[in-house]
Structure 1
């Protein structure tokens, strides 16, 4: 019996969590705020956000109106999430490698400096304090618009823009915290610094439970509010101090054995042990990011937009805003400054040899993404609230932010259209397996002529590859003789120094018909892959050692591994494990159940397709 599909509420939430859905949600909140603030009910809009809320904890007293509770309270979750994302990128993501981070670092810095300069040129004499309004990019809105107007396949451009946004967000939050904070109170500041020290110590001691981190962040928020430092800086700093790491093999194995205990003896105690074991295997950073991402995107940021985008444009206010130098400085800084700064900055970094653009991303796509980076919105609205005390100036700046959304989107669309006409039809890695599977060359489990093919690019030192080695048995159990499993080498030499030698040893064993035997031994002994270890495994398998030693040193065997690495690059595989299902690169989870579902969906599509 088929399981019931998701209900309408779950379907709606899934759509809102998508990049396009998030952008539409923010736009909808802005429209509601504008309509409300310019309707006969405008007084209720003002009254709502001026509602006083007093929170007393002993001698501590937090007395703010609802508008400030949103901006200084709820939004700390947003900036904490930004800090978590920055730490992830620095630890295990696109900012981990020097050559990967220098181009977006230069481009992101230029994308902050150029808009500020344009703002000061236009409105520096009238309102120099507003230059911070134009430095930030609304990542959620940018990605939503990119999904609508960008290339059909743009995952590599998306990664590049996300990396840019990390730099952009870090600089924008630093500017908010340093430039737009009030007079600082010393004792609360000392408490805040102590909380940051506690977060650092928790990371150093590898504390895996999230509770102590959350407690430290809550106390940190209260201390920064009382100290007069804007909580955005505290949120970002706290997120940066929450450690991020790849899952470690021994933690995953512990969770597996705990689940086996529950399977054999189901009960509340074993279930709790499984829950804790699973949590321990995933970094605190990733767990907090997962817990916060949905409420922040669906509640915190839309409520913030609702509280800040409602400007009263009646009585000639719109005409006055259009005639204000501040409005044109904000719109010009965001639209022209981001476009020029990011485009020129990335081009200069590449020309100087500091790095290169992601594979598949051309200059036209960079220009289109740079144009969309002119969508400031969330951070811009926050800084408007901090920078301007004159309501007329704040109105003019808000109109400039809203105008920039429209202009940046249209310019981005024009840039992407021009790029497509010049041949930049994609901003992504290749997705088709190149070359195709060759039974005379490739290592194949199953029938050479099986209609279903799964190809894995693997690295013998990669812990994730080791975890999926049993996946083939599940696939074979489901599909029987209709499936074949193929492996190719992709040793990641920059992070796994022994992987290449292990791949060569496996190919040497293949010359004696023992590839799969050594394949299994190598994954079972990932921590011991030195040359002497490899020879020991060959001895244990009973290989002809004279021939094995000769083959390990044979240039043709080494070239065989290099050829697989070149085919990985030509096919769009950059990490391990990467799977190709019937010649097409698979995206997403690679557990057996997911791969089986993807293969069944592909077969169903083929059977219902045009004859």
Structure 2
């Protein structure tokens, strides 16, 4: 049997490990997730344009979950579909993982410095205002109601493109774009609530706030039982659904509430290691119950030595990259391309995404940094910042959502078709320009340690 040396001790490996380890290494390559997302996007486009009826019928398939007299469709007051399951449920998990990553950066990373933390928020505001202005300048007539369409950044597709670029994306830029996209999504939801909806159900939102507060208190009290937090999270999510506020915001909030500090203090861990080490060196006799107690203590200490935020983020990443994001792309990228629908709305939306987004992000960031209000992230220069702004022009899902609200009236069906073509062309152009530009201005940052197999092979 093959063995692996860990801290001077040879640990036997099972035969299955020889097959699992290469797969794990492959899944840890960032570009793998980006390539998969692009492939699924192409499949969705082909499916929708070759057989739009089957595409719409599949994602409109209803599903139900019933316990006794209670059923989910009655609770939601509408029949949930597979598309709803992906966009409102699974994507909440994706946003939860993003919230976890941002929380880690706020406490220990790039966003720990207030001047770096403020930059993505200001950049997000610039990235929303400039596209809206461009839209209104080009399309001031009856279709002006679509001003909110090019304001949003699609975080899932943007993350996929950044993954495709791999180490050409500096860590500081990745954190900035993630934070910017969260601020952008929150801003877009506010725009929807103010400009495109009849209002928010404040009672349901208030109940959600109560359960989120209970989640925060449970973390402060040191409760680490995932079942308890899971129940609180599901109730909070359901209240967000009922309130009319997009439930993915609930995922971000819970991610930001998750503690970064480990439960077990380092001094205790060091003392435990010394105590167990001394017992092993002295070969003290132990009963089976004592051995079990020591091993259970070591297992619990090992689990609690890391933060809950880090542990959850590590476990969620494969599911997010290779299940949730591909399903999201398959459910949302199936836009029917209708050349006859091209109009001023199409041009306004596309230019808002391709030009307005990077221009707004770059100019506001430049002004804030020159005014010494903010500072550039680590490893990011002006060219790389502009490239990140280009990638932020990918406005797919939220833009489609806003377009449906702005032009939902059957009398505006032509505007809606034109907006969808503009979203598709603008988002694809932003992705292509952003990737090509980043390949020119940014160099890979591989280190020998990062590229070695030992660095990614799990123990």
Query: TM-score by structure 2 length?
Result: 0.78
Match of 1:404 in 2: 426
**1:277 and 2:304 are equivalent in the alignment:** no
Could you say what the CA RMSD is over the residues aligned between the two structures, in angstroms?
Answer: 3.8
Does residue 58 of structure 2 align to residue 48 of structure 1?
A: yes
Do structure 1's residue 176 and structure 2's residue 193 form an aligned pair? no
Aligned to 2:76: none
Distance (whole Å) between structure 2 residues aligned to residue 387 and residue 195 of structure 1: 33
Which residue pairs with 1:307 in the alignment? 331
Q: 1:96 to 1:332 in 2, by over 3 A?
A: same
Matches within 5 A, 1:517-528: none
Matches within 5 A, 1:205-244: 205-244=221-260
CA distance in 2, matches of 1:271, 1:237: 36
Give the drift of 1:32.
1.2
How has the CA–CA distance of structure 1 residues 278 and 119 changed in structure 2, closer, same or farther, with 3 Å as cutoff?
farther
| Contact 1:361 1:427 survives alignment (8 Å) | no
Q: CA deviation at 1:262?
A: 11
Question: Unmatched 5+ residue regions in structure 1?
Answer: 420-424, 432-583, 598-611
Q: Residues of 2 paired with 1:333 and 1:202: CA distance?
A: 44
Partner Cα separation in structure 2 for residue 395 and residue 411 of structure 1? 24
After the TM superposition, which residues 386-535 of structure 1 pair with which residues of structure 2 at under 5 Å, given as runs? Answer: 388-389=407-408, 393-412=415-434, 415-416=437-438, 419=441, 426=443
- TM-superposed CA distance for 1:416, in Å, is 4.7
Shift of 1:236: 1.9
Q: What SS does the corresponding residue of 1:282 show, helix, strand or coil?
A: coil
Quick check: which has more Rg, 1 or 2?
1
Q: Which moved more, 1:208-217 or 1:132-141?
A: 132-141
Alignment match of 2:385 (pick from 362, 366, 390): 366
Structure 2 equivalent of residue 288 of structure 1: 312
The 1:352/1:9 distance shift into structure 2, 3 A limit, reads same
2:270: which partner in 1?
253
Q: Distance in 2 between matches of 1:405 and 1:7?
A: 41
Residues 349 and 51 (structure 1), Cα distance of their counterparts in 2 relative to 1, 3 Å cut: same
Q: Equivalences for 1:87-236 in 2 at 5 Å?
A: 87-123=103-139, 125-128=141-144, 130-139=146-155, 141-142=157-158, 145-146=161-162, 154=168, 157-176=170-189, 179-180=192-193, 183-185=199-201, 187-236=203-252
Structure 1 pair 302–94 and aligned structure 2 pair: CA distance change class (3 A): same
2-structure distance, mates of 1:131, 1:268: 64
Q: Distance in 2 between matches of 1:38 and 1:233?
A: 32
Superposed CA offset, 1:368-403 (max 9, x none): 232222223354455555655366555433433332
For residues 373 and 268 of structure 2, the distance between their equivalents in structure 1, rounded to whole angstroms, comes to: 37
For the residue of structure 1 that corresponds to 2:334, the secondary structure is coil
1 CA distance for matches of 2:71 and 2:402? Answer: 27
Contact persistence 2:176–2:377 (CA under 8 A) = no
8 Å contact from structure 1 (residues 89, 96) kept in 2 = yes
8 Å Cα contact 2:155/2:181 also seen in 1: no
Matched position secondary structure for 2:93: helix
Alpha-carbon contact 1:251-1:280 (below 8 Å) kept = no
Q: Which runs of 4+ in 1 moved over 6 A?
A: 2-10, 257-268
SS of 1:115's equivalent? helix
**Which has more helix, going by share of residues?**
2
Tell me, in whole angstroms, the C-alpha distance in 2 between the residues paired with 1:353 and 1:120: 32
TM-score by length of 1: 0.60
Deviations, residues 546-601 of structure 1 (Å, cap 9, x unaligned): xxxxxxxxxxxxxxxxxxxxxxxxxxxxxxxxxxxxxx885599xxx969x9xxxx
> In the alignment, what sits opposite 2:33?
22
CA distance in 2, matches of 1:411, 1:20: 18
2:97 corresponds to which of 78, 81, 88: 81
Q: CA deviation at 1:5?
A: 9.0
CA 1:242/1:370 → structure 2, altered by over 3 Å: closer, same or farther? Answer: same
Gaps of 5+ in 2: 4-12, 74-78, 281-285
Tell me the distance in 2 between the aligned counterparts of 1:340 and 1:411: 14
